[in-house]
Structure 1
Amino acid sequence: MCLVEKGYLLKNGCVLSMDPSVGQYARADVLIEGSIITAIRPDLECEEAIVIDASDMIILPGLVDTHRHVWESLLRTAGTNWSLPVYLQNLYYGAMGSKLRPQDSYIANLLGSLEALNAGVTTILDWSMPYTPDHTDELVRGLRDAGIRAVFAYGVPGETEYWNRESRLTYSADVRRVKLQHFSSNDQLLTFGLAIRGPEFSHWDTAVDEIRLARELDAICSMHAGFGSWGSVDRSVARMAEHGLLGPDVNLVHGNTMGIDEYKLLADSGASLSVTPEVEMMMGHGYPATGAFLEQGGTPTLGVDVVTSTGGDMFSQMKFALQAERAKMNELALENGEMPGELNLQSRQVLRFATSAGAQALGLGSKVGTLAPGKEADLIMIRTTDLNLFPVHDPIGAVVQFANPSNLDTVFVAGRLVKQGGKLIGVDLDKIRRQAMESKVYLLQQYRFSDAERIVYS
């Protein structure tokens, strides 16, 4: 019997739980009561539940993106030809990001979160750099109104006086107001993090103080580190390890050019690494550190990162991470005059990066990232009858290497149905598009890209 009046019973799906104690089912049912999964096994019955036919579907945990600048959805497709320095020149340091009004921040985060949900990304870390308290409140409101699960990683403004190695500027007192007003409870969809500059983009003492501030506020502490031409020179991870600053509450982003010993230090401390493979290879961060971190005992997580330059779905990032690492190792074999044998990285590992490992990195592993009784019902359902998937021999391989957002039939977040039949539920997309277009037009009136790009963006 169901314990609540309303629940959902997903019948006869192929279940990829990502939980070793639950396992994988070619055919099973999933019972959701309230926000919680209460049972996973074949032939469940519950008269009170709304039955959803999951036959010809793969059921798996919602995907977890551990690094995304969500507001940049407002400038989608603008940066397809930008390197990292050009991107920074156009979006920060007095450029486009500083022109946002609070209402632009709201629609940007709402639009970007809905894009994620539509693609089966039920959890994101929003690496945010608000300019005023009003901007902060509107960014949070955009996440909340979308109904996504998110870590709001609160940063400092994206201005040069903050982002340089001598900067001692830090968070205002508003950081505590934001924590108290919006994140007083951990029992909600939105949780709190700090997006700090770290020792490569601020003074060392400032970085230390901000890591300690994150711990004082019981917040995930995320920073960009160990990438680009300075990553191998600074050895900031080794320095943080020497000072006892690493730990499971620390999330490093990119890490492409760190020393091998630094990957080991990171893994041994329990800190997480967010790999954003497509953007890293495109923009000049360095080769994705997926394999290097794995070899030193770590488990990478995945992020989309810059949605000005690539789409906001995790299927693409899984494929990029998988094939980039395989290509690297295959090339080494060919250089030795050999053909590759068994591929070094498997689809199952990469699906873990995008689900359970991501949730663990964000401090949400007890709630989401796997499907198991007692976990919150963040899950997605993928149609296997679509022509790009049918017929399925390996469901994990199908998800990682064949699926795309068009195959997403159903999405739940905390037991709430947010997408069904391939369409978002309760969302006025026409209104949101109008608001987003108004903000886009406003921003382009405030700031212009280079002359060669004006025609494209106008």
Structure 2
Amino acid sequence: MKTTKTLLRGGCVVTMDEQGHVFKCADVLITGEKITAIQPDIDADDCVVLDASHQIVMPGFIDTHRHVWESVIRGTAGNYSLMEYLQHILGPLAASFRPQDVYTANLLGALEALDAGITTLFDWSHIMNSPDHADCAIAGLKESGIRAVFGYGTPGTSVWEWFYESKLTHPTDIERLCQQHFNSSDQLVTPAMAIRGPEYSEFAVAVKDITMARRLNLPISMHAGCGTFAGKYQAVQQLATAGLLGPDLNIAHGNYLTIEDFTRLADNGCSVSITPEVEMQMGLGFPATGRAMAGGIAPSLGVDVVSGVSGDLFTQMRIALQTERALANDGLLRVGEMPQHISLTMADALTWATVNGAKALNLDRKTGSLTPGKQADLIMLNTTKMNLSPMADPIAAIVSQANAGNVDSVFVAGKAVKRNGQLLHPQLDSIRQQAYKTAGYLVEKALMTSMAQV
């Protein structure tokens, strides 16, 4: 069968490659799943030509920490602290999810991410109430067309049993899952283990969970450094002392980790996911972006939960960047000095949302930049919209001005999943309708459960 060639003609190309190439006007050639050339005036023979003039062509965003199943309970946690989130979302709501609800939620949540230009995400799925729930979560991701690392977590059946110094080890159904669903590293959806770690389970349990993940050769992600839990449980120090840190380990949040903690993580090749909006809302602390970098970490970004916050990485880039700038400026102002320059740049923020995200998920050989030979995971931003007209600096435009409404086209592994501002999935209306039904059922079921417990 003949390989399809697609030529994106005449775009402003922000590559995010190692040389930082930005082309004011260039073409991008996609051959099959891969980028094969980036330069002006590529020969268009045998190509499907798409006009990219008045578009920024850039790598797709990479969200390294997202609980995708919460798409159908959007906005329910908008006024919650972390403790209220644990009590209400991981309480009656999570326990009310049926397998078909998880399928709908993951399909909707992944499509939402694609619509906002996110081509890769880590799905930290702590809704594994049964094997059927897990199967449906994976099916929803696969149906969407997104690239995803599926982090198999714990059940949402009892927050008290699974998330408060839990004595329960990770469900062993992950072994079946790996054999049944993940037989190739070339799949768009690949497996990982989303464990609770020392802040949410006993340390002995965390050790057993990590041991199981490494026996299965799976990447590991855990929450750590969350508010007062950081000082109470000393997760990074405990893991370091036990010799359990390693390049397969991703830490989400890290708000109250010290520079020394981040240095330990960096020295052992660990990655860190910052989710700035939800961290500041729920009482985890200020985003640790600056301390992470000071400790040698290349931070990545995530949305975390659309039950509480926005679902795009434009927002997360801006919040992370401007918060860290404000903290640095405040340090000078407090000693009577007026800040003379800004150290963190727009390019830094874009790196967090693309290149660093790929590195955090060990996908940097495949995605994260527009580089010939890598997978064609890319997006196009419409610069004719009023918020991007005129455009002096494309990177500044992406980080400080653009929003999800500018995402005109999205490609994952060379396949268009959004064109001309519209997702291409053929059943969008029915998915929306089912999501409304699912949300109504869950709220009613959770309410009945809460009333029965009074």
Query: Where on the TM-score scale, by shorter chain, does this alignment land: which range?
Result: over 0.9
1:76 paired residue number: 74
Counterpart CA distance in 1 for 2:266 and 2:219 is 16
Amino acid corresponding to residue 346 of structure 2 in structure 1: S
Structure 1 residues 118-197: aligned runs within 5 Å: 118-129=115-126, 130-158=128-156, 159=158, 160-165=160-165, 167-197=166-196
- Answer yes or no: is the 8 Å Cα contact 2:77–2:89 preserved in 1: no
- Amino acid paired to 1:305: D
**How far does residue 259 in structure 1 lie from its aligned partner after superposition?**
2.2
1:377 alignment partner in structure 2: 376
- Cα distance in 2 for partners of 1:173, 1:322 equals 40
Report the Cα offset of residue 427 of structure 1. Answer: 3.2
Q: 2 CA distance for matches of 1:254 and 1:391?
A: 36
Distance in 2, Cα, partners of 1:151 & 1:26: 33
2:97 & 2:64 partners in 1: Cα distance?
24
Find out whether 1:109 has 2:111 as its counterpart.
Answer: no
Partner SS state of residue 419, structure 1: strand
- Correspondence for 2:238: 239
Q: Name structure 2 gaps, 5 residues minimum.
A: none
Letter of the 1:163 counterpart: F
Letter in 1 for 2:365: S
Q: Which runs of 5+ in 1 are unaligned?
A: 452-458
Q: Say whether residues 1:251 and 2:256 are aligned partners.
A: no
Secondary structure, counterpart of 1:152 in structure 2: strand
Q: Residue type matched to 1:300 in 2?
A: P
Note if contact 1:156-1:170 (Cα within 8 Å) is conserved in structure 2.
no
Contact 2:11 2:52 in 1 (8 A): yes
The equivalent of 2:205 in structure 1 is 206
Question: How many residue pairs get matched?
Answer: 447
Deviation (angstroms), 1:233: 3.2
**Which one-letter code corresponds to 2:117 in the other structure?**
G
- CA drift of 1:388 comes to 0.5
Q: Normalization by structure 2: what TM-score?
A: 0.96
* Alignment map for 1:38-49 (pairs within 5 Å): 38-49=36-47
The alpha carbon displacement at 1:449 in A equals 9.4
1:161 match: secondary structure: helix
SS at match of 1:28: strand
Distance 2:172 2:238 in 1: 28
Which residue in 2 is equivalent to 1:364? Answer: 363
Match of 1:264 in 2: 263
Partner residue, 1:456: none
User: Contact conserved, 2:259 with 2:294, CA < 8 A, in 1?
Assistant: no
Could you say which residue in structure 2 is the equivalent of 1:454? Answer: none
- Give me the whole-angstrom Cα distance separating, in 1, the residues matched to 2:395 and 2:45: 31
Q: Which residue of 1 aligns with 2:405?
A: 406
List structure 1 runs of 4+ shifted beyond 6 angstroms: none
Between stretches 18-27 and 389-398, larger displacement belongs to 18-27
Separation in 2 of the partners of 1:228 and 1:427?
43
Cα distance per residue 1:116-161 (max 9 Å; x no partner): 0000000010000210000000011000100000000001113221
> Does the 8 Å CA contact 2:144/2:425 hold for their aligned counterparts?
no
Provide, for residues 291-332 of structure 1, a one-character-per-residue CA deviation record: whole Å limited to 9, x for no partner: 001111111100000111112100000000000001111111
SS at match of 1:447: helix
* Residue 28 of structure 1: how far off its partner (Å): 1.0
Identity over aligned pairs, percent: 49
TM-score, normalised by the number of residues in structure 1: 0.95
Secondary structure class of the residue paired with 1:31? strand
1:90 positional shift: 1.1
Tell me, in whole angstroms, the C-alpha distance in 1 between the residues paired with 2:256 and 2:278: 15
CA contact (8 A) 1:64 1:124 kept: yes
CA contact (8 A) 2:170 2:195 kept: no
Q: Once structures 1 and 2 are overlaid, which stretch shifts more, 15-24 or 132-141? A: 15-24
Asked whether the equivalents of residues 232 and 259 of structure 1 are also in contact (C-alpha less than 8 Å), the reply is no
Aligned 8 A contact 1:22 1:372 in 2: no
Match of 1:455 in 2: none
Find the aligned partners of 2:425 and 2:118 in 1 and give their Cα distance.
Answer: 18
Aligned residues of 1:83 and 1:282 also touching (Cα < 8 A): yes
**C-alpha deviations, 1:55-95, integer Å up to 9, x for none?**
111111100000000010001111111111111111113x1
Return the letter of the residue paired with 1:164: Y
Aligned-residue Cα RMSD (Å) equals 1.5
